[in-house]
Every structure is written in structure tokens, then in C-alpha cells.
């Protein structure tokens, strides 16, 4: 079910009420049951896939825990990896690679009859697969003791707040929490509800409104040029951040209500001063996963400068492919890999240039230049992430700055048409909501927003909470639009 649906509006209070209403020893089984209900409400048949992954990884982990050496544990590691990555390949990548093989065969004038599979992508498969892979690798390496309780391990894989779109949790962080008992705590529950409200605001007021500006252009890009394309790229840049960070806030908030702590997944990424800094702030659980389970095993930065840059590029190429079985995602990942390689190679020259211009003595200007240039690079790369095809992406990228001599009024009208008759008011709402998000992020850079709000008078705090809820009810777009990252 969707967090922004009527189904969830009923499910959430019932699940929370039952969780704190049953005896403590019954909460874990109840939480597992509600997690499977949450997942089965999408695609009941794929609940078997989730259960199969859970059982295989549980028994592989238990078996490895009884073997003293890595060589003895290795067959169980390979079995688990083959199952997890093989499942991901079949459901997500098989048709993509079959099509690529067919295209290559056509170029070589070679006969090729590649099969295709008519399989729907299971919701959240990339997230829970990576979570399970991290667990099994940690057990293999002896960094984590295998979980011996099947129900607890099943809950670790299927925990409903973060099952379908992360954050990607580690066993070392989550399993101890699943062993602990969580009593009802008013302060914690209130904090979780506030975080949920902020996440919902970002989704239904900001992200879904900006989507009305971005979608008409990205769905038919060849009808536009210049300013309309730039507006659509800017709208999607805001949309994806509000959408995905909004989901993460909802996930972390619901988990906090239940008594669990999920890792931070976003830390004001659009205030980053470099692309490297951006990836230390954006989708942090995925970035950490690729660092620990791909980049470091490839050699990390230990094998010389050239190999380090190659490792970085390969990691981001794989990150792009993780997001989707499409050349647009591959190119998006390659772009970020290229950004980081060039950023590293040009660091001495950029530092020298900054010193000649006196930027170290003007830190505010230096930060503004870094943030502005980083945001421009990231926004440009989002074109390839959002575009429906490579030709569309290349068209948008090459027509952003064409036709500015005469602003195409008809094209601008087509961009805002999705906002309806009151498009001026809708644009003002979007601008105001985005400004509120920017203020919140800027304040978070300086310290905890929650701690800052705690210093307000009670009347001011409650007026702010009421204003946020009223804004959601009045300005929210409740069309049960799914979160962007559900497709991954």
C-alpha cells in the first residue's frame, strides 16, 4: 500500500494500536504479520518470493555460523548470492540484457533470437535484496553473528516501514533493535508523527505538484525547447528530492513511533559543495552499501590512482544500473562517475585557481560557487534519470539553451496546463512550499530542526504543526501517486 493512500490511513492506526495493545512477547509476531500484509497488499504472489529469499538467507547464515573457516562457509555465501542476485537479474535485468544482446547481434549481422520474460517487477526487490546480501556477506566475513531466530530474521528482511524503498538497513544496526522491547513513549511517538507529517507534506504538497510541471515536458520533450525544458528539469530536481526524502521521513517516522531507529538517508544534499559531498548526503544507505560491498572489494583506493578512479566509475555505473534496467539509468550513473573522476583529477588545479582568486578569504562566496555548480551538474544528470529514452534525454540536454531569443508563450502555457485553471496560484503554492523546504534544510545544516523547534513557545509550535496539517489538507494532491523509488 502507499503511504499517501486511504488504505494506509486506516492501516497505520490499527497496526500501531494492536502493536502497543498486545503483550510485549506478542509484538514481534504481530509486526511480522503486519509487514507481510503491507507487502501482500501490492502483489500477493510475490510474497512467496520474499519468503523464499528470507528462508534461504536465514539457513545460509545459520549454516555459515557453524563453520569455522571462510573456505568452508564460501559455498553457502555463493548459494545465497546466486539466489539473491539471480532473482534480481531475472525480474529486473533479463529483458534489458536480452535486448542489448539482440542489438549487438544486429550490428554484427549475426542471427539472434533472444527470449523475453513477461514478469512484473516485485515492489522493493532491489532494496530487500541488497539488505539481505549485506547481511549474508557480513556473516560470511565474521563481522556479524548469524541470527538464529527465523521470525526475527524474517522481520529484519520484511520490516514494513522500510521494506519497499529503504533505507537499506544493516543487520548490525537493526537486529539488536528487533531483540529489544519497545514500550510506548509519548515523546518518541510524537516525534515520529511530526517526522511523518513533514514527509507527507514533502510528498503531496511539493513533489506531486512539481510533477505536474515536469511530466508534460518529459513525456513529450520534442514539443518544447529552451525555458520550458529548463523549468521541467528544475521541477524534477525538486520533485525527486521531495518525493524520495519524503518517503524516507515517513519510513523513519513510522519506525520511530514503533520504537525503532532507521538510519538517516538524506542530509541536505542540495547544499552540497561538490559532487563527492552530494553523494555523502544523498541516499546515504545505498552509497554506503556500494562503498562497503563493491568499492572496497574492488580495491578501493589501495591500488593506485588510476585504479581508484576506475573503481569509482564502475561503482557509479553499477549504481545507475541498480536504479533501472535502461540505458538512461546507466548513463546517469556514468555521468556521476565521470563527475567524481574529473573532480578528483582537477582538485589541485581548482584549489590553485581558488587561491589566486582569493576565495579562501571569502568562504561564503566559495561555498555558494561550490553549491551552485554542484546543483547544476546534479540537475543536468537528472535529465537522464527521468527521460523515457536516450533520444529524449539527448534532445532535452541539447535544447535547454535554444530558443531563448523569443520566449515560446504557447510552450510555457503547455507546461503549466497540468496545474489547472488556477495555475498562478498553484505556482505560488509550489514556490512557497519549495522555499519552506530550503529553509528547513538550511536550518538543519546549522543543527537539529527538532531541537530548534523545541525552543519555541508551545503555542508557536502547535500553531506550526496545525499550519502544516492544514496546508497538507488544503494544498495536498491526494491522487495515490506512488513514490518514485518504488519502481526500483
Q: What percent of the chain has pLDDT over 70?
A: 97
Confidence of residue 407 (pLDDT cuts 50, 70, 90): low
How would DSSP label each residue in 381-406? HHHHHH-SSHHHHHHHHHHTTSSTTS
Query: Are residues 301 and 314 in contact, defined by beta-carbon separation less than 8 angstroms?
Result: no
- Cα 276 to the center of its chain, rounded Å: 17
Closest CA to 2 of 482, 488, 473: 482
Confidence of residue 408 (pLDDT cuts 50, 70, 90): low
Which has the minimum average pLDDT: 110-124, 293-307, 310-324? 110-124
Confidence of residue 329 (pLDDT cuts 50, 70, 90): very high
Confidence of residue 480 (pLDDT cuts 50, 70, 90): low
What is the per-residue pLDDT for 119?
80
Distance CA 2, CA 164 (A): 10
What is the per-residue pLDDT for 241?
96
Closest CA to 297 of 315, 317, 278: 315
Query: Are residues 271 and 371 in contact, defined by beta-carbon separation less than 8 angstroms?
Result: yes
Closest CA to 437 of 237, 285, 261, 278: 237
Sign (positive or negative) of CA dihedral 199, 203, 204, 209? positive
What is the per-residue pLDDT for 172?
94
Distance CA 145, CA 135 (A): 10
Across residues 284-301, what is the average pLDDT? 92
Closest CA to 239 of 401, 403, 418: 418
- Per annotation, catalytic residue among 109, 222, 323, 336: 323
pTM above 0.85, yes or no: yes
Distance CA 443, CA 437 (A): 10
Distance CA 198, CA 444 (A): 14
Confidence of residue 405 (pLDDT cuts 50, 70, 90): low
Give how far Cα 21 sits from Cα of 24, 134, 163, 183, Å: 9, 33, 23, 11
Query: Are residues 295 and 309 in contact, defined by beta-carbon separation less than 8 angstroms?
Result: no
Query: What ranges do the domains of the chain cover?
Result: 6-184, 188-487
Across residues 260-285, what is the average pLDDT? 95
- The residues, ordered by sequence, that sit 6+ positions from 425 with a Cβ below 8 Å of its Cβ are none
H/E element, 103: helix 94-107
| 399 catalytic per annotation | no
Confidence of residue 465 (pLDDT cuts 50, 70, 90): confident
> Chain-wide mean pLDDT for the chain?
89
DSSP class of 90: I
- Cα 136 to the center of its chain, rounded Å: 22
Query: Are residues 240 and 484 in contact, defined by beta-carbon separation less than 8 angstroms?
Result: yes
Indicate whether 423 pLDDT > 80: no
Distance CA 124, CA 105 (A): 33
Amino acid at each position: 500500500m502507499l503511504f499517501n493512500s486511504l488504505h494506509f490511513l486506516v492501516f497505520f492506526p490499527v497496526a500501531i494500536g494492536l502493536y502497543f495493545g498486545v503483550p510485549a512477547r506478542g509484538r514481534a509476531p504481530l509486526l511480522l504479520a503486519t509487514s507481510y500484509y503491507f507487502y501482500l497488499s501490492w502483489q500477493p504472489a510475490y510474497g512467496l518470493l520474499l519468503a523464499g529469499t528470507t528462508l534461504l538467507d536465514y539457513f545460509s547464515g545459520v549454516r555459515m555460523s557453524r563453520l569455522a573457516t571462510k573456505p568452508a562457509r564460501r559455498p553457502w555465501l555463493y548459494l545465497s548470492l546466486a539466489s539473491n542476485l539471480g532473482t534480481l537479474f531475472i525480474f529486473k535485468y533479463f529483458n534489458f540484457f536480452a535486448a542489448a544482446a539482440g542489438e549487438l547481434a544486429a550490428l554484427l549481422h549475426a542471427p539472434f533470437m533472444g527470449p523475453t520474460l513477461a514478469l512484473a517487477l516485485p515492489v522493493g526487490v532491489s532494496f530487500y535484496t541488497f539488505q539481505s546480501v549485506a547481511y549474508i556477506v557480513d556473516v560470511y566475513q565474521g563481522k556479524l553473528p548469524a541470527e538464529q531466530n527465523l521470525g526475527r530474521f524474517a522481520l529484519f528482511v520484511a520490516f514494513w516501514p522500510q521494506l519497499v524503498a529503504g533505507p537499506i538497513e544493516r543487520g548490525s544496526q537493526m537486529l539488536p533493535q528487533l531483540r529489544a522491547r519497545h514500550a510506548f513513549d509519548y515523546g518518541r511517538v510524537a516525534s515520529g508523527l511530526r517526522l511523518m507529517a513533514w514527509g507527507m507534506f514533502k510528498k503531496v504538497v511539493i513533489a506531486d505538484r512539481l510533477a505536474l510541471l515536469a511530466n508534460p515536458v518529459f513525456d513529450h520533450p520534442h514539443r518544447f525547447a529552451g525555458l520550458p525544458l529548463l523549468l521541467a528539469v528544475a521541477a524534477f530536481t525538486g520533485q525527486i528530492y521531495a518525493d524520495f526524502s519524503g518517503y524516507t521521513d515517513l519510513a523513519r517516522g513510522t519506525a520511530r513511533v514503533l520504537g525503532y531507529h532507521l538510519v538517516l538517508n538524506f542530509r541536505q544534499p542540495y547544499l552540497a559543495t561538490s559532487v563527492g559531498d552530494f553523494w555523502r548526503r544523498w541516499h546515504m544507505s545505498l552509497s554506503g552499501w556500494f562503498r562497503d560491498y563493491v568499492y572496497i572489494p574492488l580495491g578501493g583506493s589501495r591500488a593506485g590512482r588510476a585504479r581508484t578512479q576506475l573503481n569509482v566509475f564502475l561503482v557509479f555505473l553499477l549504481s545507475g544500473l541498480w536504479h533501472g534496467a535502461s540505458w538512461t539509468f546507466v548513463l546517469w550513473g556514468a555521468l556521476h562517475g565521470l563527475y567524481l573522476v574529473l573532480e578528483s583529477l582537477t582538485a589541485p588545479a581548482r584549489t590553485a585557481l581558488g587561491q589566486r582568486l582569493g576565495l579562501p578569504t571569502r568562504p561564503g562566496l566559495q561555498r555558494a560557487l561550490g553549491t551552485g555548480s554542484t546543483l547544476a551538474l546534479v540537475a543536468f544528470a537528472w535529465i537522464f534519470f527521468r527521460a523515457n529514452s536516450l533520444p529524449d534525454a539527448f534532445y532535452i540536454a541539447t535544447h535547454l539553451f535554444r530558443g531563448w531569443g523569443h520566449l515560446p508563450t504557447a510552450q510555457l502555457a503547455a507546461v503549466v496546463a497540468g496545474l489547472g485553471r488556477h495555475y498562478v496560484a498553484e505556482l505560488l503554492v509550489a514556490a512557497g512550499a519549495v522555499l519552506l523546504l530550503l529553509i528547513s534544510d538550511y536550518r538543519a545544516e546549522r543543527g537539529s530542526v527538532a531541537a530548534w523547534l523545541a525552543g519555541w513557545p508551545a503555542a508557536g509550535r502547535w500553531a506550526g504543526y496545525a499550519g502544516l496539517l492544514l496546508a497538507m489538507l488544503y494544498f495536498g494532491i491526494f491522487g495515490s501517486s506512488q513514490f518514485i523509488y518504488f519502481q526500483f
